[in-house]
Chain A
Amino acid sequence: MDVKVLVIDDSQMVRRMVSNALQGAGFATVEAVDGVDALSKLTDNGDTKLIVCDVNMPRMSGIEFLEALRNDRKSELPVVMLTTEGQPELIQRAKSLGAKGWIVKPFKADLLVAAAKKLTT
Chain B
Amino acid sequence: MSVLDYLRLPPEISDFERRYLARVNRIGLYACAAFVAVTTLVAWANGTGPLLALTLGTLALVGPVVAMRTQPSPRTHSIVLGATSMVLGGLLVHFGQGPLQIEMHFAFFVLIALLAVFANPMVVLVAAATVAAHHAVVYVAAPRSVFNYQAAWWVVAVHALFVVIESVAACFVARSFFDNVIGLERIVTARTAEVTARNADMRRVLDAVTQGFVTITADGTLSPERSAAFERWFPTVTAGSTWFECLATRAPSFAERSKLAWDEVVAGFMPIELTLDQMPREFEADGAHYRVEYRPIGASEPYERFLVVMTDVSDEVARAQVEAEHRETMVVLERALVDRNGVTSFFEEAAELLKTLDHASTPMAVLQRNLHTLKGNASLFGLATIASKCHALEDLIVRTGEAPNAAQIALLRHEWERASRDAERLLGRPATVEFDEEQYAALLELVRTNAASVTILRWLRDRRMEPTQRRLAQFADQARTIAEKLQKPDLTVVIEDSGVRLDARRWRSFWGAFVHAVRNAIDHGIETPDEREEIGKPAGGRIWLRTRSDAHGVVVEVQDDGRGVNWNRLREKALAAGLPANTNDELTRAMFTDAVSTAESVTEVSGRGVGMGALLDATRALGGEVSVHSTPGVGTTVRMSFPVSASRPLESLKPAAA
Contact = CB atoms under 8 A, between A and B. Distances in A.
A118 B260 contact: no
A104 B278 CA distance: 7
B40 to A, nearest CB: 86
B271 interface: yes
B600 A58 contact: yes
A114 B260 CA distance: 21
Contact of B277 (A11, A16, A111): A111
Contacts of A11: 600-601
Contacts of B275: 101
Contact of A103 (B274, B280, B487): B274
Contacts of A104: 278
Interface string A81-94: 00001101001100
A80 B274 CA distance: 12
A118 B257 contact: no
B594 interface: no
B530 interface: yes
Interface string B526-546: 001011000000000000000
Contacts of A58: 600
A100 B601 contact: no
Contacts of B273: 111, 114
Nearest to B280: A85
A96 to B, nearest CB: 12
B531 A12 contact: yes
A118 B601 CA distance: 30
Interface stretch (B58-66, B202-210, B262-270): B262-270
Contacts of B271: 111, 114-115, 117-118
B270 A80 contact: yes
Interface string B476-488: 0000000000010
Main secondary structure of the interface of B (DSSP, over half): helix
Nearest to B487: A13
Contact of A101 (B269, B277, B487, B528): B269
A40 to B, nearest CB: 19
Interface in A31-72: 56-58
A27 interface: no
A115 B274 contact: yes
A5 B487 CA distance: 25
A118 B270 CA distance: 7
Contacts, number: 55
B73 to A, nearest CB: 68
A88 B528 contact: no
Nearest to A12: B528
Contacts of B270: 80, 100-101, 103, 115, 118-119
A103 B530 contact: no
B179 interface: no
A100 B269 contact: yes
Given A91-B260, A92-B260, A103 B278 contact: yes
Nearest to B572: A58
Contacts of A91: 260
B264 A88 contact: no
Contacts of B264: 101-102
B349 interface: no
A119 B600 contact: no
Contacts of A80: 270
A114 to B, nearest CB: 4
A108 B277 contact: yes
Contact of A10 (B269, B274, B277, B601): B601
Q: Can you list the 8 inter-chain pairs with the closest CB atoms, starting with the nearest? A: A101-B270, A114-B271, A111-B274, A100-B269, A115-B270, A104-B278, A118-B271, A101-B269
10 contacts: A10-B601, A12-B528, A13-B487, A56-B601, A91-B260, A100-B270, A101-B275, A102-B264, A111-B273, A119-B269
Given A78-B269, A111-B274, 9 more contacts: A10-B601, A11-B601, A12-B530, A58-B600, A85-B257, A108-B277, A111-B271, A112-B274, A118-B271
